[in-house]
Amino acid sequence: MLEPGKPFPAFSLPNQDGVTTSLADFKGRWLVVYTYPKDDTPGCTLEGKGFSAAKPAYDKIGAVVVGLSADDVKSHKSFCDKFAFTVPLLADTKAQLLKALGVGQSEFKGTSYWDRVTFLVDPKGVVRKVYPKVKPDGHDQEVLRDLKELQQKA
């Protein structure tokens, strides 16, 4: 898995609206990238709702949050609309970024899913903290606290 101190991999992926988003779009800003297993599942919904509710607090400190999964644009759009998410979801249908990040896969009831991992990336594109095996409830607040702490040290 990608470790703190390493550059976050360059990417160019569509969001839920089909708009291409790349790492360069976030240059000069703190970035939170959370990977999640599957659209419209209980834990992923909880995590997306948490980050959406916390978006104003992230905006206030100049940070951007994006979700990332292997689901497609149509699935992301439906998921965002259903739960009124305010954070963009990136569609990595070929899992190129997920693999570059070293995100593992787990199996549930015979189906393989990408693990839930969060990466905190500084304004220069360097990973500052990695959260492996995330528990979705309250995770948005944990990341926000850590981000504020890192900003104070920077």
Give me the phi and psi of 135, to 5 degrees please: -95, 120
Q: Catalytic annotation on 44?
A: yes
* Helical H segments across 41-125, by residue range: 42-60, 73-83, 96-101
The span from the CA of 131 to the CA of 77, in Å, is 26
Catalytic pick from 13, 23, 32, 44? 44
28, two tokens: 């000069």
Give me the phi and psi of 12, to 5 degrees please: -150, 105
Q: Which of the residues are catalytic?
A: 44
